[in-house]
């Protein structure tokens, strides 16, 4: 597309129509990766603590142990809620910069912590930053992404999470292999502290990101909107930006969106929150949080604590590789197959594969049991990665209007973190009471319920402009009231 044609398109169709029809250049992918470094840190942080927990040389109470493993999710829920009104007021870019700084401080504090209290404070800071980032990243991407590739760009969040999980296992393996005698000395500090490196990188690079053009337009910063659109490859005049902004205001008036939290927005909110709850309670994080403990003894090649840790991390790393590779298929299919069909297929695959793993646990022993469980878990993760994981973050960022997108997306992210906390905390109790096989059967039942939920409540939104997606939920809400 030439510069002249790009300039003409916004004039004829509106600035946002021109943005929606842009070619997805390498700069768009760069922005998506940079926006989702918080996803990488999310994956790294949630997985890495399991690798070092046994080597932290402080006396940890049951509360401290539980908080180090899952309690940061509570901090993330709080961070997500706090980020909502802040990002709607101060912008997406500003909060992404602050989040990176907070995470860097938290990771460095983890590495130098001299006692349990400092370590818990550091984990809380990390949770706040990761939670806030998870609330903002996909909303930011949704507001600049061309409609034809919006799904693929926003799934970058899920892919970065999977990469973060895998890198945490690799870092732990390499560190323990290089210096096995320092496991309770420098090793665990290095493993936790390395998380500061991508955070510092993000802190520097995010300062050069363009602010969300939709947010700038909402704030009537037309000159800044023009500059941001220029960075995104769209040549427009300030007058064109102003005209489009006025058209948006008129559209909102026609749709009677005076309160912002309309029936359609509220419907979208509880649908996305419900999707996030199913995303977590169907058990996806169990293989990553508890995989080393569940599978490590079968892979153990030595008798020392470090040997056991290495064996468990290696087993989890295999699942981490599956997770990263499978997520690539989501990039390919999300904008072709669509959100709804892919999610239903993903939950179906999860239900079937976790039943395979449950059969292995209940009826086999020794090496056959290990193979069947690993295959079941691998297929379970594959189904999640292709159809469920990225879809949740995608709809979180695309189904809300710009005026409330930050707050609504933050609420959904907070629900996701709380659901994650509940299932991770509850799993040991469930396993002790029912046994691992029956817990897996429970996850399969919940996955079937998730299929019904998606089929009943989630509309297809592929190929639609953001403003059109909002209208879909408004029509659904209106139809429900009439029905």
Least confident of 233-242, 378-387, 472-481: 472-481
Span 18-77, pLDDT tens digits:
888 888 899 999 999 999 998 898 889 878 887 888 889 998 887 787 778 776 778 888
Q: Which two tokens stand for residue 404?
A: 């409330």
Q: Where are the alpha helices (DSSP H) in 113-207?
A: 116-142, 150-154, 156-178, 188-193, 196-205
CATH of domain 12-209+255-482: 1.20.1250.20
Q: How confident is the model at residue 9 (pLDDT cuts 50, 70, 90)?
A: very low
Please give the residue that has the higher pLDDT: either 70 or 414.
Answer: 414
**Residue 43, Ramachandran bin (φ over 0: left; ψ between -120 and 50: alpha; else beta):** alpha
3-class SS letters over 65-118? HHHHHHHHHHHHHHHHHHHHHHHHHHCHHHHHHHHHHHHHHHHHHHHHCCCHHH
User: Running DSSP on this structure, what letter comes out for residue 186?
Assistant: I
Read off the pLDDT of residues 133-188 as tens digits, 9 standing for 90 and up.
988 998 899 999 998 888 889 889 889 999 999 999 999 999 998 998 898 899 99
What's the chain's average pLDDT? Answer: 87
Cα(136)–Cα(140) distance, rounded to whole angstroms? 6
Domain boundaries along the sequence of the chain: 12-209+255-482
Average pLDDT over residues 253-276: 81
Whether the per-residue pLDDT at 414 is higher than 90: the answer is yes
Q: What is the pLDDT of residue 12?
A: 38
Cβ atoms of residues 150 and 398 within 8 Å: yes
What is the pLDDT at residue 481? 65
pLDDT tops 50 at residue 8: no
- Report residue 370's pLDDT band, with 50, 70 and 90 as the boundaries: confident
Which of the pair, 290 or 363, is modelled with greater confidence?
363
Q: What is the pLDDT of residue 478?
A: 83
pTM score of the predicted model = 0.81
Q: Looking at the predicted structure, is the pLDDT value of residue 104 above 90?
A: yes
**Each residue of 74-103: pLDDT tens digit?**
888 899 999 988 998 899 999 999 999 999
The pLDDT value given to residue 5: 38
pLDDT score recorded for residue 297: 63
């Amino acid at each position: 597309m030439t510069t002249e044609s790009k300039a003409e398109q916004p004039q004829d169709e509106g600035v946002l129509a021109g943005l929606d029809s842009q070619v997805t250049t390498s700069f768009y992918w760069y922005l998506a990766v940079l926006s989702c470094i918080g996803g990488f840190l999310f994956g790294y942080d949630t997985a890495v603590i399991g690798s070092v927990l046994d080597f932290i040389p402080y006396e940890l109470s049951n509360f401290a142990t539980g908080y180090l493993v899952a309690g940061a999710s509570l901090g993330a829920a709080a961070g997500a809620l706090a980020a909502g009104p802040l990002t709607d007021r101060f912008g997406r870019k500003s909060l992404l910069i602050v989040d990176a700084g907070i995470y860097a401080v938290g990771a460095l504090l983890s590495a130098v912590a001299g006692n349990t209290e400092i370590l818990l404070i550091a984990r809380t800071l990390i949770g706040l930053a990761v939670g806030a980032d998870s609330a903002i990243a996909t909303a930011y991407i949704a507001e600049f992404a061309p409609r034809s590739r919006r799904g693929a760009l926003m799934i970058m969040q899920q892919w970065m999470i999977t990469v973060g999980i895998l890198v945490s296992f690799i870092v732990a393996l390499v560190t323990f292999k290089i210096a096995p005698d320092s496991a309770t000395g420098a090793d665990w500090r290095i493993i936790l502290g390395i998380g500061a490196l991508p955070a510092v990188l993000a802190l520097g690079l995010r300062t050069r990101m363009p602010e969300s053009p939709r947010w700038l337009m909402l704030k009537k910063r037309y000159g800044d909107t023009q500059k941001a659109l220029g960075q995104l490859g769209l040549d427009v005049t300030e007058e064109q930006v102003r005209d489009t902004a006025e058209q948006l205001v008129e559209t909102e008036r026609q749709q009677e969106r005076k309160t912002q939290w309309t029936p359609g927005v509220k419907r979208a909110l509880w649908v996305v929150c419900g999707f996030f709850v199913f995303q977590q309670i169907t058990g996806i994080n169990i293989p990553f949080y508890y995989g080393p403990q569940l599978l490590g003894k079968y892979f153990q090649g030595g008798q020392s604590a470090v040997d056991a840790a290495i064996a468990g991390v290696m087993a989890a790393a295999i699942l981490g590789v599956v997770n990263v590779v499978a997520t690539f298929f989501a990039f390919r299919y999300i904008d072709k197959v669509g959100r709804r069909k892919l999610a239903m297929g993903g939950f179906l695959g999860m239900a079937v594969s976790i039943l395979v793993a449950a059969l292995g646990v209940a009826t086999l022993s020794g090496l056959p049991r290990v193979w069947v469980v690993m295959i079941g878990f691998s297929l379970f993760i594959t189904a999640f990665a292709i159809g469920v994981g990225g879809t949740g973050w995608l709809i979180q960022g695309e189904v809300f209007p710009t005026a409330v997108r930050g707050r609504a997306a933050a609420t959904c992210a907070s629900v996701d973190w709380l659901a994650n906390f509940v299932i991770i905390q509850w799993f040991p109790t469930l396993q002790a009471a029912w046994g691992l096989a029956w817990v897996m059967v429970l996850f399969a039942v919940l996955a079937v319920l998730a299929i019904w939920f998606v089929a009943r409540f989630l509309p297809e939104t592929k190929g639609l402009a953001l403003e059109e997606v909002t209208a879909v939920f408004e029509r659904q809400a209106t139809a429900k009231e009439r029905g």
